[in-house]
Amino acid sequence: MKFPIPATELAARIELNRNRLATGECYQIPRAFSAKEYEWFGDREGRVILAFMSHYKINGEIIPTLKQVMELMPGYLNEKGFFGPTFEGKIHEQQLSGHSWLLRGLCEYYEQFGEESVLASIRAITENLFFTKKGGFSDYPVDREQMDVGDVCGDVMGNLGKWILSSDVGCAFMAIDGLSHAYRVLKDEKVAELVHEMCEVYLGIDKVALRVQTHCTLSAARGMIRMYHLTKDKFYLEGAQSILDLYANGGGMTRTYQNLNWWGRPNTWTEPCAIVDSLMVATELYKITGREEYRELAARVYHNGFASAQRANGGAGTDSVVAPGGEDTLFMTGYEADFCCTMRFAEGLWYIHENADLLYAQTTGEVVKNDGVYMDGDIVYALPSDDLAPYVEKTVEADGLKLSPLVKYYKLPDEVAKRARQKIVF
Protein backbone atom coordinates (compact mmCIF):
# COMPACT_ATOMS: atom_id res chain seq x y z
CA MET A 1 0.00 0.00 0.00
CA LYS A 2 1.35 3.42 -0.93
CA PHE A 3 1.39 6.12 1.73
CA PRO A 4 2.13 9.54 0.16
CA ILE A 5 3.36 12.56 2.07
CA PRO A 6 0.21 14.33 3.30
CA ALA A 7 -0.02 17.71 1.58
CA THR A 8 -1.19 19.36 4.80
CA GLU A 9 1.83 17.99 6.66
CA LEU A 10 4.32 19.31 4.13
CA ALA A 11 2.58 22.69 3.99
CA ALA A 12 2.69 22.94 7.79
CA ARG A 13 6.38 22.07 7.89
CA ILE A 14 7.18 24.66 5.22
CA GLU A 15 5.17 27.41 6.91
CA LEU A 16 6.73 26.74 10.32
CA ASN A 17 10.24 26.86 8.89
CA ARG A 18 9.56 29.98 6.86
CA ASN A 19 8.15 31.78 9.88
CA ARG A 20 11.16 30.81 11.96
CA LEU A 21 13.52 32.23 9.35
CA ALA A 22 11.43 35.32 8.67
CA THR A 23 10.95 36.32 12.31
CA GLY A 24 13.75 34.71 14.32
CA GLU A 25 16.15 37.30 15.69
CA CYS A 26 19.14 35.18 14.72
CA TYR A 27 18.20 35.55 11.03
CA GLN A 28 17.74 39.31 11.09
CA ILE A 29 20.28 42.09 10.68
CA PRO A 30 22.88 42.24 12.20
CA ARG A 31 22.89 38.60 13.40
CA ALA A 32 22.50 37.25 9.89
CA PHE A 33 26.19 38.09 9.67
CA SER A 34 28.64 36.18 11.83
CA ALA A 35 30.76 37.76 14.53
CA LYS A 36 34.40 38.28 13.47
CA GLU A 37 35.63 35.65 15.91
CA TYR A 38 33.38 32.96 14.39
CA GLU A 39 35.73 30.81 12.34
CA TRP A 40 33.18 29.45 9.89
CA PHE A 41 33.79 32.31 7.48
CA GLY A 42 30.91 32.79 5.04
CA ASP A 43 28.97 29.84 6.41
CA ARG A 44 26.12 31.59 8.19
CA GLU A 45 25.70 34.18 5.48
CA GLY A 46 25.59 31.54 2.75
CA ARG A 47 23.13 29.35 4.61
CA VAL A 48 20.89 32.36 5.31
CA ILE A 49 20.78 33.33 1.63
CA LEU A 50 20.21 29.74 0.49
CA ALA A 51 17.42 29.24 3.03
CA PHE A 52 15.65 32.45 2.02
CA MET A 53 16.03 31.53 -1.64
CA SER A 54 14.61 28.06 -0.99
CA HIS A 55 11.42 29.55 0.39
CA TYR A 56 11.30 32.06 -2.46
CA LYS A 57 11.35 29.15 -4.90
CA ILE A 58 8.44 27.53 -3.06
CA ASN A 59 6.07 30.48 -2.86
CA GLY A 60 7.58 33.36 -4.85
CA GLU A 61 7.71 35.61 -1.79
CA ILE A 62 10.92 37.34 -0.71
CA ILE A 63 11.71 37.33 2.99
CA PRO A 64 12.69 41.00 3.55
CA THR A 65 15.98 40.21 5.27
CA LEU A 66 17.25 38.61 2.04
CA LYS A 67 17.55 41.94 0.26
CA GLN A 68 19.16 43.51 3.32
CA VAL A 69 21.78 40.78 3.50
CA MET A 70 22.60 41.17 -0.19
CA GLU A 71 22.90 44.95 0.10
CA LEU A 72 25.08 44.90 3.22
CA MET A 73 27.30 41.93 2.44
CA PRO A 74 29.98 43.76 0.37
CA GLY A 75 30.89 45.76 3.49
CA TYR A 76 31.76 42.56 5.35
CA LEU A 77 34.08 41.10 2.69
CA ASN A 78 37.85 41.44 2.59
CA GLU A 79 39.77 43.14 -0.20
CA LYS A 80 39.70 39.94 -2.27
CA GLY A 81 35.95 39.56 -2.07
CA PHE A 82 35.45 36.82 0.53
CA PHE A 83 34.94 36.49 4.29
CA GLY A 84 37.75 36.23 6.81
CA PRO A 85 41.54 36.59 6.60
CA THR A 86 43.41 35.59 3.45
CA PHE A 87 45.55 33.03 5.36
CA GLU A 88 48.45 33.35 2.92
CA GLY A 89 50.21 30.02 2.48
CA LYS A 90 47.59 28.19 4.56
CA ILE A 91 44.34 26.39 3.80
CA HIS A 92 41.65 27.00 6.43
CA GLU A 93 39.20 24.14 5.84
CA GLN A 94 36.29 25.78 7.66
CA GLN A 95 36.73 28.83 5.43
CA LEU A 96 36.41 26.62 2.34
CA SER A 97 33.40 24.85 3.83
CA GLY A 98 31.68 28.09 4.75
CA HIS A 99 32.23 29.60 1.33
CA SER A 100 30.69 26.53 -0.26
CA TRP A 101 27.41 27.62 1.31
CA LEU A 102 28.04 31.20 0.26
CA LEU A 103 28.55 30.07 -3.33
CA ARG A 104 25.37 28.00 -3.15
CA GLY A 105 23.33 30.92 -1.85
CA LEU A 106 24.78 33.42 -4.32
CA CYS A 107 24.35 31.06 -7.26
CA GLU A 108 20.71 30.45 -6.36
CA TYR A 109 20.19 34.21 -6.08
CA TYR A 110 21.88 34.89 -9.42
CA GLU A 111 19.92 32.16 -11.20
CA GLN A 112 16.67 33.71 -10.02
CA PHE A 113 17.43 37.43 -10.34
CA GLY A 114 20.42 37.71 -12.72
CA GLU A 115 22.18 40.57 -10.89
CA GLU A 116 25.64 41.15 -12.41
CA SER A 117 27.12 42.25 -9.08
CA VAL A 118 26.25 38.85 -7.63
CA LEU A 119 27.87 37.11 -10.59
CA ALA A 120 31.00 39.17 -9.95
CA SER A 121 30.99 38.08 -6.33
CA ILE A 122 30.69 34.41 -7.32
CA ARG A 123 33.66 34.87 -9.66
CA ALA A 124 35.75 36.65 -7.02
CA ILE A 125 35.21 33.95 -4.40
CA THR A 126 35.94 31.20 -6.91
CA GLU A 127 39.11 32.79 -8.26
CA ASN A 128 40.56 34.47 -5.18
CA LEU A 129 39.76 31.88 -2.51
CA PHE A 130 39.49 28.56 -4.30
CA PHE A 131 41.74 28.77 -7.37
CA THR A 132 44.65 29.59 -5.06
CA LYS A 133 44.23 26.15 -3.44
CA LYS A 134 44.48 24.22 -6.73
CA GLY A 135 46.99 21.39 -6.41
CA GLY A 136 46.84 21.50 -2.63
CA PHE A 137 44.07 19.05 -1.81
CA SER A 138 46.23 15.94 -2.26
CA ASP A 139 48.06 17.02 0.90
CA TYR A 140 44.93 16.88 3.04
CA PRO A 141 46.14 15.25 6.30
CA VAL A 142 44.82 11.70 6.69
CA ASP A 143 47.54 10.34 8.99
CA ARG A 144 46.63 12.00 12.25
CA GLU A 145 45.54 11.18 15.76
CA GLN A 146 41.87 10.36 16.13
CA MET A 147 40.21 12.49 18.78
CA ASP A 148 36.61 12.42 19.99
CA VAL A 149 36.31 16.18 19.95
CA GLY A 150 34.08 18.83 18.42
CA ASP A 151 30.69 20.18 19.36
CA VAL A 152 27.60 20.60 17.22
CA CYS A 153 28.97 23.64 15.37
CA GLY A 154 32.52 22.30 14.94
CA ASP A 155 35.81 23.79 16.10
CA VAL A 156 39.22 24.69 14.70
CA MET A 157 41.62 21.99 15.89
CA GLY A 158 44.95 23.58 14.94
CA ASN A 159 47.55 23.38 12.18
CA LEU A 160 49.00 20.35 10.43
CA GLY A 161 51.33 21.31 7.61
CA LYS A 162 49.67 24.01 5.57
CA TRP A 163 46.20 22.99 6.74
CA ILE A 164 44.17 24.65 9.50
CA LEU A 165 41.96 21.72 10.41
CA SER A 166 38.44 21.39 11.80
CA SER A 167 36.83 18.91 14.17
CA ASP A 168 34.30 18.50 11.33
CA VAL A 169 36.80 16.25 9.62
CA GLY A 170 36.76 16.55 5.83
CA CYS A 171 34.70 19.71 5.71
CA ALA A 172 37.05 21.30 3.17
CA PHE A 173 35.48 18.94 0.63
CA MET A 174 32.04 20.41 1.35
CA ALA A 175 33.15 22.90 -1.29
CA ILE A 176 32.64 20.33 -4.05
CA ASP A 177 28.98 21.32 -3.68
CA GLY A 178 29.46 25.07 -3.89
CA LEU A 179 32.05 24.93 -6.65
CA SER A 180 29.92 22.64 -8.79
CA HIS A 181 27.15 25.25 -8.59
CA ALA A 182 29.67 27.98 -9.45
CA TYR A 183 30.68 25.92 -12.49
CA ARG A 184 27.05 25.78 -13.60
CA VAL A 185 26.85 29.56 -13.40
CA LEU A 186 30.32 30.61 -14.57
CA LYS A 187 30.88 27.87 -17.18
CA ASP A 188 34.61 28.19 -16.49
CA GLU A 189 36.51 24.98 -17.19
CA LYS A 190 39.10 25.90 -14.56
CA VAL A 191 36.36 25.42 -11.98
CA ALA A 192 35.62 21.97 -13.37
CA GLU A 193 39.32 21.07 -13.19
CA LEU A 194 39.45 22.08 -9.52
CA VAL A 195 36.28 20.15 -8.69
CA HIS A 196 37.68 17.06 -10.41
CA GLU A 197 40.87 17.34 -8.37
CA MET A 198 38.89 17.62 -5.13
CA CYS A 199 36.66 14.69 -6.03
CA GLU A 200 39.61 12.45 -6.90
CA VAL A 201 41.22 13.21 -3.55
CA TYR A 202 38.10 12.86 -1.44
CA LEU A 203 36.90 9.67 -3.09
CA GLY A 204 40.30 8.17 -2.30
CA ILE A 205 40.13 8.95 1.42
CA ASP A 206 39.09 6.16 3.82
CA LYS A 207 36.23 8.02 5.42
CA VAL A 208 35.52 5.38 8.05
CA ALA A 209 39.14 5.20 9.19
CA LEU A 210 39.48 9.00 9.29
CA ARG A 211 36.04 9.32 10.92
CA VAL A 212 34.96 12.14 8.67
CA GLN A 213 31.76 14.13 9.02
CA THR A 214 28.78 12.62 7.21
CA HIS A 215 27.24 16.02 6.35
CA CYS A 216 30.21 17.27 4.36
CA THR A 217 30.52 13.91 2.64
CA LEU A 218 26.89 13.82 1.50
CA SER A 219 27.16 17.46 0.41
CA ALA A 220 30.17 16.51 -1.67
CA ALA A 221 28.03 13.76 -3.22
CA ARG A 222 25.37 16.34 -4.13
CA GLY A 223 28.10 18.34 -5.86
CA MET A 224 29.20 15.24 -7.77
CA ILE A 225 25.65 14.67 -8.93
CA ARG A 226 25.46 18.27 -10.13
CA MET A 227 28.72 17.75 -12.03
CA TYR A 228 27.31 14.60 -13.59
CA HIS A 229 24.28 16.53 -14.83
CA LEU A 230 26.58 19.18 -16.30
CA THR A 231 29.24 16.91 -17.84
CA LYS A 232 27.66 13.43 -18.17
CA ASP A 233 30.99 12.10 -16.86
CA LYS A 234 30.22 8.84 -15.03
CA PHE A 235 33.17 9.47 -12.71
CA TYR A 236 30.92 11.85 -10.78
CA LEU A 237 27.88 9.58 -10.80
CA GLU A 238 29.87 6.60 -9.59
CA GLY A 239 31.51 8.75 -6.93
CA ALA A 240 28.15 9.85 -5.57
CA GLN A 241 26.87 6.28 -5.63
CA SER A 242 29.89 5.05 -3.70
CA ILE A 243 29.37 7.71 -1.05
CA LEU A 244 25.68 6.92 -0.57
CA ASP A 245 26.44 3.20 -0.38
CA LEU A 246 29.08 3.82 2.28
CA TYR A 247 26.70 6.09 4.19
CA ALA A 248 23.72 3.73 4.12
CA ASN A 249 25.59 0.44 4.51
CA GLY A 250 28.92 1.41 6.03
CA GLY A 251 28.03 2.91 9.39
CA GLY A 252 26.92 6.42 8.49
CA MET A 253 23.15 6.01 8.97
CA THR A 254 21.12 5.20 12.07
CA ARG A 255 18.28 2.74 12.52
CA THR A 256 15.87 5.68 12.30
CA TYR A 257 17.26 6.76 8.89
CA GLN A 258 19.10 9.69 10.40
CA ASN A 259 22.88 10.12 10.51
CA LEU A 260 25.86 9.74 12.78
CA ASN A 261 27.55 13.12 12.85
CA TRP A 262 30.87 11.39 12.19
CA TRP A 263 31.63 7.86 11.01
CA GLY A 264 32.74 5.71 13.92
CA ARG A 265 31.36 7.97 16.66
CA PRO A 266 27.94 6.62 17.68
CA ASN A 267 28.13 8.37 21.05
CA THR A 268 27.41 11.75 19.47
CA TRP A 269 24.25 13.07 17.80
CA THR A 270 22.33 13.28 14.56
CA GLU A 271 22.38 16.35 12.31
CA PRO A 272 19.38 17.40 10.20
CA CYS A 273 21.77 18.98 7.67
CA ALA A 274 22.99 15.51 6.74
CA ILE A 275 19.52 13.99 6.93
CA VAL A 276 18.44 16.52 4.28
CA ASP A 277 21.51 15.73 2.19
CA SER A 278 20.88 11.98 2.32
CA LEU A 279 17.31 12.39 1.06
CA MET A 280 18.45 14.63 -1.78
CA VAL A 281 21.31 12.35 -2.84
CA ALA A 282 19.13 9.23 -2.78
CA THR A 283 16.31 10.88 -4.73
CA GLU A 284 18.64 12.30 -7.36
CA LEU A 285 20.31 8.92 -7.85
CA TYR A 286 16.89 7.35 -8.29
CA LYS A 287 15.96 9.94 -10.90
CA ILE A 288 19.20 9.25 -12.79
CA THR A 289 19.32 5.46 -12.53
CA GLY A 290 15.73 4.37 -11.90
CA ARG A 291 16.95 2.04 -9.17
CA GLU A 292 14.12 1.51 -6.69
CA GLU A 293 16.41 1.05 -3.70
CA TYR A 294 17.39 4.72 -3.96
CA ARG A 295 13.78 5.90 -3.99
CA GLU A 296 12.96 3.58 -1.10
CA LEU A 297 15.86 4.96 0.94
CA ALA A 298 14.80 8.55 0.28
CA ALA A 299 11.23 7.75 1.31
CA ARG A 300 12.43 6.09 4.51
CA VAL A 301 14.56 9.13 5.31
CA TYR A 302 11.54 11.40 5.01
CA HIS A 303 8.96 9.25 6.81
CA ASN A 304 11.32 8.28 9.65
CA GLY A 305 14.39 10.51 9.69
CA PHE A 306 12.45 13.74 9.34
CA ALA A 307 9.89 12.75 12.00
CA SER A 308 11.83 14.01 15.00
CA ALA A 309 14.17 16.45 13.23
CA GLN A 310 11.87 19.50 13.03
CA ARG A 311 10.70 21.29 16.15
CA ALA A 312 7.47 23.14 16.91
CA ASN A 313 9.17 26.51 16.31
CA GLY A 314 9.95 25.45 12.73
CA GLY A 315 13.65 24.96 13.37
CA ALA A 316 15.62 21.73 13.33
CA GLY A 317 17.69 20.08 16.03
CA THR A 318 19.75 17.06 16.98
CA ASP A 319 18.65 13.67 18.32
CA SER A 320 20.23 10.59 19.81
CA VAL A 321 22.12 8.18 17.56
CA VAL A 322 20.17 4.91 17.40
CA ALA A 323 22.89 2.65 16.07
CA PRO A 324 25.28 -0.05 17.24
CA GLY A 325 27.42 1.45 20.00
CA GLY A 326 24.90 4.25 20.47
CA GLU A 327 21.41 4.37 21.94
CA ASP A 328 18.45 2.00 21.58
CA THR A 329 16.03 4.88 22.18
CA LEU A 330 15.32 8.02 20.16
CA PHE A 331 15.29 11.28 22.11
CA MET A 332 16.17 14.93 21.64
CA THR A 333 19.77 15.95 22.38
CA GLY A 334 19.59 19.59 21.27
CA TYR A 335 16.46 21.63 20.71
CA GLU A 336 17.64 23.65 17.73
CA ALA A 337 20.83 24.15 15.75
CA ASP A 338 19.80 27.61 14.58
CA PHE A 339 23.27 28.30 13.14
CA CYS A 340 23.00 25.54 10.52
CA CYS A 341 20.24 22.92 10.61
CA THR A 342 17.24 25.25 10.66
CA MET A 343 18.55 26.97 7.53
CA ARG A 344 19.60 23.71 5.85
CA PHE A 345 16.10 22.35 6.48
CA ALA A 346 14.70 25.03 4.18
CA GLU A 347 16.37 23.61 1.08
CA GLY A 348 15.28 20.15 2.17
CA LEU A 349 11.68 21.27 2.36
CA TRP A 350 11.92 22.93 -1.07
CA TYR A 351 13.36 19.74 -2.50
CA ILE A 352 10.63 17.60 -0.93
CA HIS A 353 8.02 20.05 -2.23
CA GLU A 354 9.42 19.52 -5.74
CA ASN A 355 9.68 15.72 -5.46
CA ALA A 356 6.88 14.74 -3.08
CA ASP A 357 5.31 12.37 -5.58
CA LEU A 358 8.43 10.17 -5.42
CA LEU A 359 8.67 10.05 -1.64
CA TYR A 360 5.72 7.83 -0.82
CA ALA A 361 6.19 5.10 1.77
CA GLN A 362 5.06 1.55 1.11
CA THR A 363 3.45 -0.55 3.82
CA THR A 364 2.21 -4.13 4.09
CA GLY A 365 -0.21 -3.78 6.98
CA GLU A 366 1.95 -6.01 9.17
CA VAL A 367 4.53 -4.83 11.72
CA VAL A 368 7.45 -7.26 11.93
CA LYS A 369 10.84 -7.20 13.65
CA ASN A 370 13.92 -7.12 11.45
CA ASP A 371 17.33 -7.12 13.17
CA GLY A 372 15.82 -5.72 16.34
CA VAL A 373 13.71 -2.96 14.77
CA TYR A 374 9.97 -3.18 14.13
CA MET A 375 8.78 -1.92 10.74
CA ASP A 376 5.74 -2.04 8.52
CA GLY A 377 7.35 -1.80 5.10
CA ASP A 378 9.13 1.55 5.07
CA ILE A 379 7.75 2.80 8.40
CA VAL A 380 9.71 2.36 11.65
CA TYR A 381 7.60 1.54 14.71
CA ALA A 382 8.68 2.40 18.26
CA LEU A 383 7.53 2.02 21.85
CA PRO A 384 6.69 5.59 22.89
CA SER A 385 6.95 6.96 26.41
CA ASP A 386 3.63 7.53 28.17
CA ASP A 387 3.62 11.31 27.66
CA LEU A 388 3.50 10.76 23.90
CA ALA A 389 0.23 8.84 24.06
CA PRO A 390 -1.96 11.81 23.00
CA TYR A 391 0.25 12.44 19.96
CA VAL A 392 0.78 9.03 18.34
CA GLU A 393 -0.89 8.60 14.93
CA LYS A 394 -1.83 4.96 15.50
CA THR A 395 -1.03 2.04 17.79
CA VAL A 396 -0.57 -1.59 16.82
CA GLU A 397 0.35 -4.63 18.87
CA ALA A 398 3.32 -6.78 17.92
CA ASP A 399 4.93 -9.43 20.13
CA GLY A 400 2.94 -8.08 23.07
CA LEU A 401 4.24 -4.51 22.56
CA LYS A 402 2.06 -1.51 21.79
CA LEU A 403 3.99 0.23 19.04
CA SER A 404 3.49 3.40 16.98
CA PRO A 405 5.12 5.13 14.01
CA LEU A 406 7.69 7.70 15.06
CA VAL A 407 6.00 10.78 16.47
CA LYS A 408 6.48 14.01 14.52
CA TYR A 409 8.13 16.46 16.88
CA TYR A 410 6.95 19.55 15.04
CA LYS A 411 3.45 18.70 16.31
CA LEU A 412 4.54 18.41 19.97
CA PRO A 413 4.59 21.05 22.67
CA ASP A 414 8.24 21.77 23.47
CA GLU A 415 8.01 20.44 27.01
CA VAL A 416 6.71 17.11 25.70
CA ALA A 417 9.28 16.86 22.91
CA LYS A 418 12.17 17.51 25.30
CA ARG A 419 11.29 14.60 27.58
CA ALA A 420 9.94 12.24 24.92
CA ARG A 421 11.48 8.79 24.54
CA GLN A 422 10.81 6.26 21.77
CA LYS A 423 12.42 2.83 22.12
CA ILE A 424 13.58 1.62 18.70
CA VAL A 425 15.83 -1.40 19.15
CA PHE A 426 14.54 -4.51 20.94
Residue 299 banded pLDDT, cuts 50, 70, 90:
very high
Reduced to 3 states, what is the DSSP secondary structure of residue 405? strand
pLDDT for 154: 72
Half-sphere CA count of 345, side-chain side, radius 13 A: 34
pLDDT at position 147: 66
Q: How far is CA 332 from CA 168, 305, 306, 373, 421, in A?
A: 21, 13, 13, 19, 8
Distance (Å, whole) CA 210 – CA 213 = 9
Handedness of CA 236, 175, 92, 115 (dihedral sign): positive
Each domain of the chain, given as residue ranges in start order, spans 2-365
Please provide the average confidence, as pLDDT, over all residues in the chain.
96
pTM of the full structure: 0.97
Coil, helix or strand at residue 123: helix
Using the predicted structure, report yes or no on whether residue 222 has a pLDDT greater than 70.
yes
Exposed, middle or buried: residue 264 (CB in 10 Å: 0-12, 13-18, 19+)? middle
Instruction: Give the confidence band of 74 by pLDDT, cuts at 50, 70, 90.
Output: very high
pLDDT at 152: 57
CATH architecture of 2-365: Alpha/alpha barrel (1.50)
